[in-house]
């Protein structure tokens, strides 16, 4: 039997949730060490790996790659809002507030195909939500894409912006099409993926955090049809109904791609 469970010791206050979740985690690792005959050498390698991970600052990255999609699945199971997805490690609060016509902050020579992202925010029964706040962020169009405020080379808050829905619950944002993203492959997370025989790519995506007074907040990502990494996302975060068509559109101002999505927000439970 496993040690320590259920013993009451004066002066020690067990946290029932920790007993419920972390004790089985420890038990399972112990079982695995026995089952796989883990050696002292491998055990020391595991310790060094975790120290490298902590020192590299990649702890949030590794947690997101391997576990956030599962946390998202649990968190969103009972929600009447539209489909959620992981936040990932690269959200930065405080992005510039944009006013219509909304244009994403970008360099004067920002590479990438022009993209117009538009849609609506409504209640589950179809009423427009006025003044809903969309916080949008995505990588640039270099391959692999990089994120401002995280990777060097872009001005602060490049390709990050906030905008609100209008009187009909509509929004429109002019930006550029992001590239597929590769998580750093030189650090401990990349080395582990390599040792697992897995690549470190995510399909191109647009992140959205959506909030509105009286409604449950929503975090999601939108993906593009035809992307080569949809079926092998390193973060396992793609959901079918978040894969959208990029439709070409033209106007006398030049051609662009359009990305359309209609969000639903469920009211807050009182």
Binding site for Fe ion (CB under 5 A): 88
Residue 122 vs 162, nearer CB to Fe ion: 162
By CB under 6 A, name the one of 82, 89, 190, 220 that touches ligand DHB: 89
Taking the complex as a whole, the smallest distance from the CB of residue 140 to Fe ion amounts, in Å, to: 12
Residue 163 vs 238, nearer CB to ligand DHB: 238
Does 235 help bind ligand DHB (rule: CB under 6 A)? yes
3-state secondary structure labels for all residues of the chain: CCCCCCCCCCCCCCCHHHHHHHHHHHHHHHHHHHHCCCCHHHHHHHHHHHHHHHHHCCHHHHHHHHHHHHHHHHHHCCCCCCCCCCCCCCCCCCCCECCCCEECCCCCCCCCCEEEEEEEEECCCCCECCCCEEEEEECCCCCCECCCCCCCCCCCCCCEEEEECCCCCEEEEEEECCCCEECCCCCHHHHHHHHCCCCCEECCEEEEEEECCCECCEEEEEEECCCCCCCCCCCCCCCHHHEECCEEEEECCEEEEEEEEEEECCECCC
Map the footprint of ligand DHB across residues 40-79, applying CB under 6 A. 61, 64-65, 68
Q: What does 183 bind: ligand DHB, Fe ion, none (CB cut-off 5 to 8 Å by kind)? A: ligand DHB
By CB under 6 A, name the one of 90, 201, 229, 263 that touches ligand DHB: 90
Taking the complex as a whole, the smallest distance from the CB of residue 255 to ligand DHB amounts, in Å, to: 27
The stretch near ligand DHB (CB under 6 A) out of 5-13, 85-93, 112-120, 152-160 is 85-93
Taking the complex as a whole, the smallest distance from the CB of residue 186 to ligand DHB amounts, in Å, to: 15
What residues make contact with ligand DHB under the rule CB under 6 A? 61, 64-65, 68, 86, 88-90, 181, 183, 202, 235
């Amino acid at each position: 039997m496993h040690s320590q469970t259920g013993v009451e010791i004066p002066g020690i206050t067990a946290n029932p949730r920790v007993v419920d979740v972390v004790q089985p985690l420890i038990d399972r690792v112990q079982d695995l060490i026995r089952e796989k005959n883990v050696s002292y050498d491998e055990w020391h390698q595991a310790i060094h790996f975790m120290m490298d991970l902590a020192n590299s600052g990649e702890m949030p990255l590794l947690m997101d790659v391997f576990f956030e999609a599962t946390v998202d699945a649990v968190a969103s199971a009972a929600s009447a809002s539209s489909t959620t997805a992981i936040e990932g490690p690269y959200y930065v609060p405080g992005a510039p507030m944009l006013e219509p016509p909304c244009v994403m902050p970008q360099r004067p020579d920002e590479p990438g195909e022009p993209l117009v992202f538009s849609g609506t925010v409504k209640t589950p029964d179809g009423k427009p939500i006025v003044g809903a706040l969309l916080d949008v962020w995505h990588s640039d169009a270099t391959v692999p894409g990089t994120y401002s405020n995280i990777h060097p080379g872009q001005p602060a808050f490049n390709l990050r912006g906030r905008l609100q829905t209008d009187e009909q619950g509509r929004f429109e944002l002019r930006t550029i099409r992001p590239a597929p993203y590769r998580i750093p492959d030189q650090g401990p997370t990349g080395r582990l993926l390599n040792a697992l025989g897995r690549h470190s790519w995510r399909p191109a995506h647009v992140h959205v955090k959506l909030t509105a007074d009286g409604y449950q907040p929503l975090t999601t990502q939108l993906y593009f049809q035809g992307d080569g990494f949809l079926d092998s996302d390193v973060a396992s975060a793609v959901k079918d109904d978040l894969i959208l068509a990029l439709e070409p559109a033209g106007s006398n101002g030049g051609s662009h791609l359009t990305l359309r999505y209609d969000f639903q927000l469920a009211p807050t439970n009182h």
